[in-house]
Structure 1
Amino acid sequence: MTHARPRRRARRILALLAATVTLLAMPLAGTASAHGSVIDPASRNYGCWERWGHDFQNPAMQQQDPMCWQAWQDNPNAMWNWNGLYRDNVGGNHQAAVPNGQLCSGGHAEGGRYRSMDTPGAWKTTNLGSTFSINLYDQARHGADYIRVYITRQGYNATTTPLGWNHLELVRETPRYAPAETYMITGLNKGSRTGRHVVYTVWKASHMDQTYYICSDVNFS
């Protein structure tokens, strides 16, 4: 009887240690809770999270969705934090803050967490018609000083070439939005573009000097 109590205490300590190790090993899913992104047409990292967040260890991802697979291998938190791809204190000088080839990662924002978003390849696309809308989800209700929507020029190949500012054409700059959960930008026109393109969204939040840089892969029918 004299040894039973210490043994029970040791088992409790071991159970607590095992639970702690399990929690530390889990992805930081809870961190994706404070900012926002374009959810339709889905941004690269939101799309990967939407398709694979519940099944991110499935080896089938490598064959079925290779661009998401390389992103999960590089840094899973780029997807768990799908709404945190932003830079502070840009001062409106976006081209200086975000170099060519790094547009989809916001210039290697957050210490390079999102660098896999810059990798050219066959990212999953959203099919769009001649006119289309953008649904930007502002989870934290930051508001927007403006939202700029660009589309890649005809002839740009997203499967082989990292995105640069020279590949983009500005098609819309919105006025200011009061804080809300979603912003719908309607009546966007693809022009003469056909096939695979990137819709690039620059969202300047209103709560501080904070700017989001968002790549959405699309296919214009």
Structure 2
Amino acid sequence: MLAAVLVSSLTWSGTAQAHGSVVGPASRAYHCWEEWGDDHMNPAMQQEDPMCWQAFQANPNTMWNWMSMLQDGLGGQFESRIPSGKLCSNNLSNFESLNKPGAWKTTDVGDNFSVHLHDQASHGADFFRVYVSKQGFDPKTQSLGWDDLDFITETGSFAPATDITFPVQTSGYSGHHIVFTIWQASHLDQAYLMCSDVNFG
């Protein structure tokens, strides 16, 4: 028990030097941290939030390092460098559990919603690309691939800031979908690929 607490403390201190993530609609890793970070020893997680539970069992760093889902040097070659089925983890082994289909908790959204990035290190952005999983794709039974996505928008650049929010306009979606966001940070060739589970009302 003490060892687990020490490991958690050490990993959490590493997060303080980390980067950022989409917090609205909550990315999978951020949701798990927001919901269970202060209560990760609660056995209720297994029943109430089984996808976060399996992620925490696979690797606690999935939760603690929710701001660190980055790949350096992709050169914008996202589709050729990140395999289908590995999009929600950004092809990072520490986050492999985020690729698993299942009953991920969703954020309710309408056709028009906002994406909110929290960037503790204030890197800014060259751009964001936002996609939505196609109507008929089932996040409960399917891992996300490039062919499962509809491209929605690409933004322009954003100056360094702790919080960046921008609007997204969609139509024709209903039920559980994945909003897939690529954040190309400005300070280096550093890309963050993240999945947010939403429910279009």
User: Above 0.5 in TM-score?
Assistant: yes
Is 1:52 matched with 2:36? yes
Q: Paired residue for 2:112, among 117, 127, 131?
A: 131
Is 1:197 matched with 2:177? yes
Partner of 1:75: 59
Q: Give the alignment's TM-score, normalised by structure 2.
A: 0.95
Q: Give the alignment's TM-score, normalised by structure 1.
A: 0.87
| Alpha-carbon displacement from aligned partner over 1:162-209 (angstroms, at most 9, x marks no partner) | 0000011111100011101111111x2231010000000000001001
In 2: Cα distance, 1:61 partner to 1:135 partner = 26
Is 1:219 matched with 2:189? no
Q: Within 5 A, what are the aligned runs for 1:1-221?
A: 24-27=6-9, 28-33=11-16, 34-107=18-91, 109=92, 112-186=93-167, 188-221=168-201
Amino acid at match of 1:218: V
In 1: Cα distance, 2:123 partner to 2:8 partner = 29
Identity %: 49
Amino acid at match of 1:37: S
Provide structure 1 residue ranges, at least 5 long, that are not aligned to the other structure. 1-18
In 1: Cα distance, 2:7 partner to 2:148 partner = 40
Query: How many residues are paired up?
Result: 198
Name segments (4+ residues, structure 1) moved above 2 Å. 21-27
Provide structure 2 residue ranges, at least 5 long, that are not aligned to the other structure. none
Contact 1:190 1:220 in 2 (8 A): no
| Alpha-carbon displacement from aligned partner over 1:105-144 (angstroms, at most 9, x marks no partner) | 001x2xx000000000010000001211110111101111
Aligned-pair Cα RMSD in Å: 1.3
SS at match of 1:132: strand
Higher Cα radius of gyration: 1
